[in-house]
Amino acid sequence: MSDQKTNKQWQQELTPEQYHILREKGTEMAFTGKYDKHFEPGEYTCAGCGATLFVSENKYDSGCGWPAFDKSATDQGIIRTEDTSLGMKRVEVTCAQCGGHLGHVFPDGPRATTGERYCINSAALNFKQQK
């Protein structure tokens, strides 16, 4: 992780919702994020540091209420960590560059591709439209 910032610096750079999700491992309410039903061509970047995390070609409508992708843009861009919080066993995904919490990955994605569903908070992302 190259972006070593203090909590105060993160709070100054991020919105309160982005800070809660990226730095405090929060979750936005289902079906409220701006990228849930967003399907324009382009790439999704980390709202904390700008690293490219996902591309629109891998986004699909899972019906879960959060943006869903069947794979990340690169294997190096995401870190997977076991998460046993809330009495569940899940796999958390964080940005490899700044350590920001993005969401979780589940093994219930499209079987025709990876079989994985990256369930990602919209507030953890920015979008760069394809030109």
Burial of 65 (0-12, 13-18, 19+ CB in 10 A): middle
**Where are the strands (E) in the chain, listed by range?**
42-46, 52-55, 59-60, 68-69, 78-83, 90-95, 101-106, 117-120, 125-129
CB distance 20 to 101 below 8 Å = no
- Residue 64 is a catalytic residue: no
The single-letter DSSP state of residue 19 is: H
Check 46, 49, 95, 119 and give the catalytic one.
Answer: 119
Active-site amino acid positions: 119
